Amino acid sequence: MKKTLALLATVVIVLAGVMVVRAARMPSMQGPAPDAVAPIAVDTTGAAEHLGSAVRFRTVSYDNGVNTDTAAFRGLQAFFDSTYPLVRQHLQKEFVNDLSLLYTWEGTDPSLPPIVLMGHQDVVPVIPGTEGDWTHAPFGGEVADGSIWGRGSMDDKVSVISALEAVEALLADGYQPGRTVYLAFGHDEEIGGLQGAREIARTLQERGVGPIDLVLDEGGAVAKGLLPGVEGAVALVGIAEKGYVNLELLVEGPGGHSSTPPNQTNIGILAEAIDELEEHPFPAHFEGPGRALFDYVAPEMSFVPRLALANLWLTKPLVEHMMLGDPESAAMLRTTTAPTIIEGGVKANVLPITARAIVNFRILPGETPRSVLDRVRSVIDDDRVKVSISGGDSVAPSPVSDPGSPAFKMLAGTIRQVMPEEDVKVAPYLVMGGTDSKYYAGRSNAVFRFLAAPIGPDGLKLVHGTDEHMSVEGLATSIAFYQQLIRNADGG
């Protein structure tokens, strides 16, 4: 017995030693420090006023795709012309599908593949009745308390204004890029980008533009406190985004009077189907973009989380269990299931003939809308429930761009050069929502998603929310980032 206990103790000690050594030897994925650059001068006061002015144009996209205020978009575009005269003079501007904008800044070396810098002009509506909950009017564009306030100040007029401010400043300095730079500003990203970004991408493809060296859209951000165990700021760069599919669950059958109900009503059948889906979530997959994030941040973590992530050969079940217990981290590991609409019945004493639900799935790379549909039918396993894609509404997950590519390294180096935090860490991650960049799948192997304006730990909650605002400091950093990125894309 004593020998057995001694052997077990030895095994435990050796195992603990191996784990500690592996954790201690985890190499940093940050790479060498980038070359230092001189501080980039930004007219923060003027830029803040420009973003505030852009917010005042109510370029709202509505879910039904109608009621678009074209005058607001025309006003915003005229504002661009008057505010950025050098951009108007030196870049070719064209309208794509009436309201989207494509600017072309011709490079001096046509042999170099171009880059595409993206943003979108449209914003989501403000929920009626909530206007009074805002600290400043949602379309007032006020500059107050160190921030620019209003709908679109974060999502995503900050990217559009930052890119235009950066190009205007570079032109004023006499800069001419070696490779061609495209500025692509869609007008309907908030409702899928079908008429905007998709048509811009198609236009470039029809002209034979490609391959594209780098595509950069909104997506990740720089923030503190997002990742437990990591001190300082982390810049999350999206290397892929989830797809989505909306599935309709439909139950049809006899109605009748509620006084003589069958053993299971149509609503009951539908409720049981939804319950089955929530009780049997999609399996977790630790590999892929979710794993890439932890490969990059684990070496920067405090000892205990680094110990766990350095030894996934042993700790993977525990790590997965902990991640699946939190909705945000769970979404990185699996296709998510979210019933969002349920309908049935018109009167309290009448059994409905039909009961209907819409379930939204955000699809992990490696799966497809079709595989989701097949699995849902298998899980429900009830012929009384008809399952179909609602209105053909589905988008496949994007391809995964390589965080080891030269384009990612150049992007990461630029982030580290211009961010005000002295030791910001850069890490790839999976974007949970959708962006316009998905339309460049197949056009570039380097499609990334990143908002260069640092935000607070709760900053992401402001996107589409009440009191959306962008700090003046964050806007200035974003402008400096675009300036340096364009220079670095030419080799510095």
How far apart are the C-alpha atoms of 158 and 156, rounded to whole Å?
A: 5
Please tell me which residue in 155, 165, 168, 189 is annotated as part of the active site.
189
Q: Is 43 part of the annotated catalytic residue set?
A: no
How far apart are the C-alpha atoms of 316 and 307, rounded to whole Å?
A: 12
How far apart are the C-alpha atoms of 190 and 285, rounded to whole Å?
A: 29
How far apart are the C-alpha atoms of 44 and 403, rounded to whole Å?
A: 32
3-state DSSP call for residue 411? helix
Which residues, at least 6 apart from 448, have a Cβ–Cβ distance to it below 8 Å?
214, 215, 216, 217, 219, 237, 238, 239, 401, 407, 408, 411, 437
Please tell me which residue in 122, 156, 300, 436 is annotated as part of the active site.
122
3-state DSSP call for residue 292? helix
Reading phi first (left if > 0) and then psi (alpha if -120 to 50, else beta), residue 139 is in: alpha
Amino acid letter at 386? Answer: K
- Segment holding 344, helix H or strand E: strand 336-344
Amino acid letter at 280? Answer: H
Q: Is 145 part of the annotated catalytic residue set?
A: no
SS3 readout for 25-77: CCCCCCCCCCCCCCCCCCCHHHHHHHHHHHHHCCCECCCCCCCCCHHHHHHHH
- Provide long-range contacts, Cβ within 8 A and 24+ apart, for 259-264: 259/349, 261/351, 262/351
| Among candidate residues 13, 15, 11, 3, the one with its CA nearest the CA of residue 315 | 15
Hey, how many other C-beta atoms are within 10 angstroms of the C-beta on 256? 14
CA 225 vs CA 117, 247, 300, 474: distances in Å: 28, 35, 13, 17
Hey, how many other C-beta atoms are within 10 angstroms of the C-beta on 350? 12
In a 10 Å sphere around its CB, with 0-12 CB exposed, 13-18 middle and 19+ buried, how is residue 66 labelled?
exposed
How far apart are the C-alpha atoms of 205 and 187, rounded to whole Å?
A: 19
Residues facing 184 on adjacent strands: 102, 118
Sign of dihedral through CA atoms 449, 455, 456, 459? negative
Which residues, at least 6 apart from 404, have a Cβ–Cβ distance to it below 8 Å?
none
CA 330 vs CA 333, 376, 464, 471: distances in Å: 5, 19, 22, 30
Residues annotated catalytic, as ranges = 122, 189
